[in-house]
Chain A
Amino acid sequence: MIGYIARRVAMALPTLLLVGIAVFTLMRLIPGDPAQLMLGDAADADSLARLRERLGLDQALPLQFLRWLTQVVQGDFGHSITNGLAVLPLVWERFQVSAGIVLIAVALAALVAVPAGLLAAWRQNRPLDVIIVAGATLLLSIPSFWLGLLLLLLFGLKLGWLPVVGYVAMGDDFGQGLLYVLLPIITLVMIETGVLTRMSRASAIEVLRLEYVTHARAKGVPEWQVLLRHVLPNAFAPTLTLIGLILGNLLGGIAVLETVFTLPGLGRLLVDAIYARDYPVVQGVMLFTALIYVLINLIVDLCYPIFDPRVAAQ
């Protein structure tokens, strides 16, 4: 088991290195100088040169890359150009915000979606199924940021029930913190429920057709037992893969929601850093995200055999 994990992580290393090089090169290729941005239009050549020197931007590119790489391997992701904060703690802090919202939202969505999909599959092609599928399709067709905006308009501005801007960590003040993340979570839940319901329904349909289900029914096992004990675990596996994929992609795509709800999350950090040409932060976020991506895939692959004995046998 440990060997398997170690091998998977080792296989991911070349990918991570590639990502690091690609990000580094791409950022340097894009025109725009962070020192220039900080000094604005009143910059003169002298102060520009001094600032660049202070930030270490005047050295040869391969040298800069090597320096960064050696630091990373030792666990030091460098310091932000725009505000001097250490990158790794910054990334971690922002990650907690984004991850908190994403994980809660996906968990809630799964909680609703899996039973809903199961129900729809059980009553396939009957009115209940049609309604569930229609609802799910509708939900996943709505752009997340549009939904977020509309919800904000309604609950934040028109009704004034929820705060419109800012953020309080739930770790600091649970009650307050909850208010700030409620709307983004609701937005995400609505959309992901659509996606997951369809998936869960599809795989449940597959399983319901299988022989051992008909067999169990023929034996006289009560329907709810059939559903819960035979169908659910097996149908869940593909949904789990999808959850893994969603989690991976969501961390990137959440930037728009963070913009709408002004959350200090990872997506927003990346976008702002790109606009400010804050190289260390961009590189740090990128590397971190790639690592998380690898980890999620690994966890999903490890969980698979729990739900599908056929896979474990391989």
Chain B
Amino acid sequence: MVWTWKRYLDPATGWRCLPELDGRGMTKITAVEAPNAKTVVFKLERAAGLFLATMARADCGASAIYHRSSLGPDGKWKEPVGTGPYKLLEWKKGQYVDLQRFDGYASLPGPRDGYTGGKKAEVEKVRFMVIPDEAAAKAALYSGAIDVFPEARSADVAELKANPQAKVDVVPAMGMIALLIQTRDPLLKDARIRKALALALDMPEMASAVTDGLSKPNSSAIPSSSPFYSAVHATGFKRDIAQAKKLLAEAGYAGQPIKMLTNKRYTVCFDAAVLAQAMAAEAGIKIDLEVLDWATQLDRYTKGDYQTMAFTYSARLDPSLSYEMISGPKATQPRKVWDDAFVQTRLAESMQTSDRARRQTLFDELHRKMMDDVPIIVLFNGTDAVGMRKSLTGYKSWAAAKPRLWNVK
């Protein structure tokens, strides 16, 4: 394990999360030692409440540990030797990845707990197929060509449930669907207009319609399945057309069209934008939709070049990370929606301390400020719907939305 971590920390291997842990980010790992065969010690330069959470980040490869025999003598990848119940058989890029059961695997006894307990590879071979097209994947599930369809659309859930050969497993995910507002825009820099937009939306209807009843509305940047989601965070926007109209009149809004960017790649973004447009119209706010391809929209997001947009954020497992993804100095990070000194100090503190109660207080404060400032209108957290054949047993989804196929028959 020491060997793996040394490799991660080596700048030559280009590990994605290195900047967080080499002194430039939250802390610096000064040493990784193994005093005995069952213990590993990480020495940090300064306290970091988010250390473990960062290690577990999906985009860091979850800091997977692999054995040094994975590499050949020349330092190039030979065959990855990891710590799980399956091993890599074949990777046909763009088409599929084949895994085969590793018979020498042993896990701790006991029930499945998401850590090291109760993992058993029930099936001999697992194949992850690349099907770029949702409709085709759904059809494949029905015809039996595939057994598990991890990213089913919420719209398909009812249909899947009704199908005699399929069933569905639903779990709240930790991603976020929101309407981003550019606070630097000449029209939208007026907080009253932003608030009016938030008040014009029917949140429960929006969440229910876009996710077919699977997700509940959530106005907080923290996902509703997070342990830090307190009563404060549960208070969101309640639809109030009269108040919205009043605010608009105060701000002197004269029906100027507001452009909202969206895309067709993520149906939730598209549907949310269409609904927002219809709902806002009832308060007199005119929204024009502009549908872009995802790459273009992502580009506009990064540059901050938009008035509003319907956007989806991937899962963040810790509230600090959730707030971090939307706030920051716009001068250096134009993609951030919320540029506020008050926010910055609170956020920084939440990352340093590991005192749970203190962090909760900070997050509550941040939420209240967000309800006032409205730099972003969070709509709901996604739901992970997994379609599978009825004959499959033992599958359980979890919040980070990556399929786990041990203990599955």
Contact = CB atoms under 8 A, between A and B. Distances in A.
Interface in B271-299: 293-296, 298-299
A262 B302 contact: no
B142 interface: yes
Interface in A49-71: 50, 54
A85 B91 CA distance: 12
A264 B131 CA distance: 10
A42 B314 contact: yes
A146 B217 CA distance: 38
Nearest to A82: B94
Nearest to B58: A42
A37 B295 contact: yes
Contacts of A42: 59, 314, 325
A272 interface: yes
A164 B143 contact: yes
A41 B293 contact: no
A28 B40 CA distance: 48
B133 A259 contact: yes
B295 A41 contact: no
B302 A36 contact: yes
B52 interface: no
Given A40-B59, A44-B19, A164 B298 contact: no
B192 to A, nearest CB: 28
Interface in A115-168: 152, 156-157, 160, 163-166
Interface string B333-344: 100000000000
Contacts, number: 95
Contact of B140 (A50, A164, A259): A164
A212 interface: no
Contact of B314 (A41, A152, A166): A41
Contact of B298 (A36, A46, A47): A36
Given A42-B314, A165-B139, A32 B59 contact: no
B298 A37 contact: yes
B313 interface: yes
Nearest to B176: A41
B302 A43 contact: yes
A50 B13 CA distance: 11
Contact of B313 (A41, A47, A85): A41
Contacts of B145: 163-166
Given A47-B16, A164-B136, A275 B293 contact: yes
B114 interface: no
A100 B288 CA distance: 45
A88 B16 CA distance: 29
A47 B140 CA distance: 37
A186 to B, nearest CB: 18
Interface in A247-284: 259-260, 262, 264, 268, 272, 275-277
A163 B143 CA distance: 8
Interface string A166-200: 10000000000000000000000000000000000
A157 B142 contact: yes
B151 to A, nearest CB: 15
A253 B152 CA distance: 29
A85 B92 CA distance: 11
A32 B298 contact: yes
B139 A157 contact: yes
B296 A262 contact: no
B301 A272 contact: no
A277 B295 contact: yes
Contact of A31 (B95, B139, B295): B295
A50 B14 contact: yes
A165 B19 contact: no
Interface string B96-133: 00000000000000000000000000000000010111
A54 B14 contact: yes
Nearest to B298: A36
A41 B301 contact: yes
Contacts of A83: 93-94
Contacts of A166: 129, 131, 140, 145
A262 to B, nearest CB: 5
Given A37-B294, A54-B14, A32 B299 contact: yes
B353 to A, nearest CB: 23
Given A41-B314, A272-B132, A47 B19 contact: yes
Interface in B62-97: 93-95
Contacts of B132: 262, 268, 272
B141 to A, nearest CB: 9
A164 B14 contact: no
A311 interface: no
B137 interface: yes
B300 interface: yes
A160 B132 CA distance: 22
A71 B313 CA distance: 39
A153 B36 CA distance: 61
Contacts of B93: 83-85
A262 B19 CA distance: 40
Interface in A274-300: 275-277
B295 A32 contact: yes
B95 A157 contact: no
A165 B19 CA distance: 42
List of 5 A-B pairs having minimum Cβ-Cβ separation, nearest first: A32-B295, A165-B140, A31-B299, A164-B139, A262-B136
26 contacts: A31-B296, A31-B299, A31-B300, A32-B293, A33-B298, A33-B299, A36-B295, A36-B299, A40-B314, A41-B311, A41-B314, A42-B325, A46-B19, A50-B14, A85-B93, A157-B139, A157-B143, A163-B143, A163-B145, A164-B139, A164-B140, A165-B136, A165-B140, A259-B133, A275-B293, A275-B295
Given A40-B59, A45-B332, A262-B136, 4 more contacts: A31-B295, A85-B94, A164-B139, A165-B140
Interface of B: 14, 16, 19, 24, 59, 93-95, 129, 131-133, 136-137, 139-140, 142-143, 145-146, 293-296, 298-302, 311-314, 325, 332-333
